Structure 1
């Protein structure tokens, strides 16, 4: 299982995503207003069916219908075996609920084309059917879902209506979460009306690809996931090669990463095709693929017809006079973003450097600058960006994790080597101690110890490190620092403790 969601933007009620919310509300209303009541009504009808005697007349015909389907499409064999098992166990109510969703069979059954007038059982069947009819609800899901054994011209409206139906509460809620995560950014960039139009077109495109892929199979499709996949594709095409922070999960492993947005399109597509090839049950991966393809093509077409800027932030600019420095900083940031999108990394590096001079403690400036400067790991700009990023305030655990990740990137790429001042080292060592990153904390402490002059904060930094080691039962490592403690912090309690242990 794999998914990746962007964390680049956050919604704001200063410019609320009303159309996204409206689409979510409509999906909720369709499910809770029609589908869920229908499911309960079908369950009640199934109880009447189990007592009616109709099962003995109809189920054998239903099983033969499924056998004919398996001859044409062998992938339906597990379904047939399930129904046969239910029938042998005389779980007639469950067989009825399964039969309810086989629309083609119900159509010919109720039309009198299964148990015909010349059949000796026809009169009895007709009588029992007339008694059951008042208990059966009017079909809703089967009326508006997309059946793959029908062509494009048979009920074409289901290409769209199926995208507003869901199979369960979990199916519905999962889709609505992803709809909101991708939808609000696109609505901000496109405007409500154009966003709605593209969402609906993505849904139709997803349904069309799904119908083409599964043509002739005796199954049906429903759900908003194809249209939402279209939003995902539009999102990454809109941001192009701008690096976006994603939260991703691969099986049981999850993490954060910054990737060029457009890189995710082939990843998303390959994932859906792989899952389809592996034969995932119960998920229409080809609808997802069709949505991705539709969304990518629609956004690419739109961006060729009109200039479209991906929102850098959903928080609107406060309409107040800007200081000269702030105006210059914003201009530098916009120029740096544009140059980064154009892959002109050398010019972008200088533009980010200019912005950092005006906002030297702003991670929203320092992080993209550090990423661009990685293309020039021997440059002064790369080492400066790293220094500023690594000395940002130690505010919380998340900030420490980011600092640690940036340090390892710097450690891996820096040429000809690290350029960390003593001030930077005394800032980083406590950060790594709090993370229990003992190897990195001791590595930096070793660098600081070898400094030509003793830093004023070295005794406090050293005792903080060794206290952390002892409190986490790293006694052997702590004992290795005893000579340094005796030289620079001889009266510290941890020094006396280790001396006694020795």
Structure 2
């Protein structure tokens, strides 16, 4: 996984990027106004379908349709096997939702070309269909998505309309974030009208390359990511060799770097081709590649006939003078990061330790220190970094997931073994309960229970754990804690509940 986004500019509200905002609003209106309601309507229709008796008549024909497609495209076999498994499990509603997206089959089915008049079941099917079909929603997403087996001349408008459709909320929101990050700078440089025209052309170019690449396959494409890839290419071509600060992520490593902007174009394109070659599922990498190619060619052609002033890198407003402690902290962090980048882990370990003394509750200091300290799992610094990191506030689900991951890393690497204080344990147990990481929560609670002294927070921690177990129907595990509850929290409601269960 790789991505890189520029940090060179920020929007100015003296000349707001209204066109970028408008494109984002249109994408959201299409999804929330039509696609999401359609999805809910299809789910309701699927429930009616499962009760109608039509599945017994139609699904065997649908499976034969998929079997025929697999003979032409063996890579579709997992899809067929999935539908066969659903049919065997009598998940008729889920089969219907899949069938809904197979537009060719549905068209043939509703036109009477699947269950024909000479079929003994035709009269029964026609009666049941007449009852269900008027209640089915009119297709929207499938009407405006791009089908790869239809060619360029059949519904050419979908080359553009497909770029305003999305498959899920995360798909939509992820695309809109990148649209804004690249779009507002280009709108500042091009003006709203020209920017909109080039955006739409990039979308059409991305769809065209995708259609050419996937021609003949029984799938469809949608999403703004191809057009947004065009904006990415236009951005780096516009800045050419000017050094731009990028935030980048490669797998699990992320950092900042200043690179010549144009250098990113072959990197972006190679990444999309590599992902396509690796056979990434569910992502149309060739649409991304087509968008990059279209954006690069369009911007190069535009710059050949028109002088563009790329927005200068904006300098942040002068900040208030730093305190001595803050200046020392920033200097320590910069030195530690430089040593980490240079792979001088011994010096980096010491530098992060000094930075942590100045910022002992800053995850942006503790996490890189913990990562570097993993090279020295028997050092005092590794145990200290883990202790500080594992007692950070679990403010949200993402923070708790990070806490859980750090906990397991520490358990795996710590030498001669982990050092978990009672204060750390009473912090981790509630966080793991919220994650439903029951094995780890009970494991740590057991350490607390067996400790020589009772922690002041142990009764509350214990009742929180057992309440969580009961609410998730883990009664046997909850019962195992009853003796501890009767000792440390005898009046707690959950103690009374479990006591009654024994009677």
TM-score, structure 2 normalization = 0.66
Q: Which has the larger radius of gyration?
A: 1
In 2, the alpha carbon distance for the partners of 1:52 and 1:179 equals: 44
- Cα distance 1:407–1:67, how it changes in 2: closer, same or farther (>3 A)? closer
In 1, the alpha carbon distance for the partners of 2:356 and 2:95 equals: 58
Does the CA contact (< 8 Å) of 2:109 and 2:115 recur in 1? yes
Structure 2 equivalent of residue 172 of structure 1: 172
Deviation sequence 1:389-415 (CA, Å, 0-9, x none): xxx9964855654466679999x9xxx
Question: Cα offset for 1:435?
Answer: 2.6
In 2, the alpha carbon distance for the partners of 1:39 and 1:398 equals: 50
In 2, the alpha carbon distance for the partners of 1:49 and 1:433 equals: 63
Question: Cα offset for 1:314?
Answer: 5.8
Superposed counterparts of 1:241-390, under 5 Å: 241-313=241-313
Deviation sequence 1:418-468 (CA, Å, 0-9, x none): xxxxxxxxxxxx99874369xxxxxxxxxxxxxxxxxxxxxxxxxxxxxxx
Deviation sequence 1:230-259 (CA, Å, 0-9, x none): 000001111111111111111111111111
Deviation sequence 1:73-95 (CA, Å, 0-9, x none): 11111111111110111100000
Deviation sequence 1:376-399 (CA, Å, 0-9, x none): xxxxxxxxxxxxxxxx99648556
Does the CA contact (< 8 Å) of 1:7 and 1:244 recur in 2? yes
Look up the SS of the partner of 1:244 in the other structure.
strand
Look up the SS of the partner of 1:435 in the other structure.
helix
Q: CA RMSD in A?
A: 2.8
- Cα distance 1:122–1:187, how it changes in 2: closer, same or farther (>3 A)? same
Question: Cα offset for 1:17?
Answer: 0.7
Look up the SS of the partner of 2:167 in the other structure.
coil
Structure 1 equivalent of residue 440 of structure 2: none
> Unaligned regions of 5+ residues in structure 2, if any?
345-349, 358-378, 382-503
- Cα distance 1:126–1:179, how it changes in 2: closer, same or farther (>3 A)? same
In 2, the alpha carbon distance for the partners of 1:141 and 1:302 equals: 34
Structure 2 equivalent of residue 435 of structure 1: 355
Structure 2 equivalent of residue 336 of structure 1: none
Does the CA contact (< 8 Å) of 2:8 and 2:314 recur in 1? no
Does the CA contact (< 8 Å) of 1:394 and 1:400 recur in 2? no
Structure 2 equivalent of residue 215 of structure 1: 215
Structure 2 equivalent of residue 238 of structure 1: 238
In 2, the alpha carbon distance for the partners of 1:316 and 1:194 equals: 28
Question: Cα offset for 1:71?
Answer: 1.3
Structure 1 equivalent of residue 79 of structure 2: 79
Structure 1 equivalent of residue 466 of structure 2: none
Aligned residues: 352
In 2, the alpha carbon distance for the partners of 1:396 and 1:124 equals: 82
Structure 2 equivalent of residue 201 of structure 1: 201
Deviation sequence 1:116-152 (CA, Å, 0-9, x none): 1111111111110010013200100000000001010
Does the CA contact (< 8 Å) of 1:394 and 1:431 recur in 2? no
TM-score, structure 1 normalization = 0.66
Structure 2 equivalent of residue 124 of structure 1: 124
- Cα distance 1:142–1:238, how it changes in 2: closer, same or farther (>3 A)? same
Look up the SS of the partner of 2:114 in the other structure.
coil
Structure 1 equivalent of residue 481 of structure 2: none
Superposed counterparts of 1:380-419, under 5 Å: 395=327, 400-402=332-334
Deviation sequence 1:465-494 (CA, Å, 0-9, x none): xxxxxxx968xxxxxxxxxxxxxxxxxxxx
Deviation sequence 1:239-291 (CA, Å, 0-9, x none): 11111111111111111111111111111111101110111000000000000
Does the CA contact (< 8 Å) of 1:14 and 1:316 recur in 2? no
Question: Cα offset for 1:70?
Answer: 1.2
Question: Cα offset for 1:113?
Answer: 0.5
- Cα distance 1:188–1:42, how it changes in 2: closer, same or farther (>3 A)? same
Structure 1 runs (4+) deviating above 6 angstroms are 406-410, 430-433
Structure 2 equivalent of residue 494 of structure 1: none
Question: Cα offset for 1:313?
Answer: 3.9
Superposed counterparts of 1:53-64, under 5 Å: 53-64=53-64
Superposed counterparts of 1:18-37, under 5 Å: 18-37=18-37
In 1, the alpha carbon distance for the partners of 2:340 and 2:93 equals: 61
In 1, the alpha carbon distance for the partners of 2:135 and 2:194 equals: 44
In 1, the alpha carbon distance for the partners of 2:215 and 2:70 equals: 15
Deviation sequence 1:24-78 (CA, Å, 0-9, x none): 0000000000000000000000000001010011111111111111111111111
- Cα distance 1:134–1:398, how it changes in 2: closer, same or farther (>3 A)? farther
- Cα distance 1:233–1:397, how it changes in 2: closer, same or farther (>3 A)? farther
Structure 2 equivalent of residue 229 of structure 1: 229
> Unaligned regions of 5+ residues in structure 1, if any?
318-361, 364-391, 413-429, 438-471, 475-502
Structure 1 equivalent of residue 9 of structure 2: 9
In 2, the alpha carbon distance for the partners of 1:117 and 1:205 equals: 44
In 2, the alpha carbon distance for the partners of 1:256 and 1:316 equals: 17
- Cα distance 1:247–1:85, how it changes in 2: closer, same or farther (>3 A)? same
In 1, the alpha carbon distance for the partners of 2:99 and 2:145 equals: 15
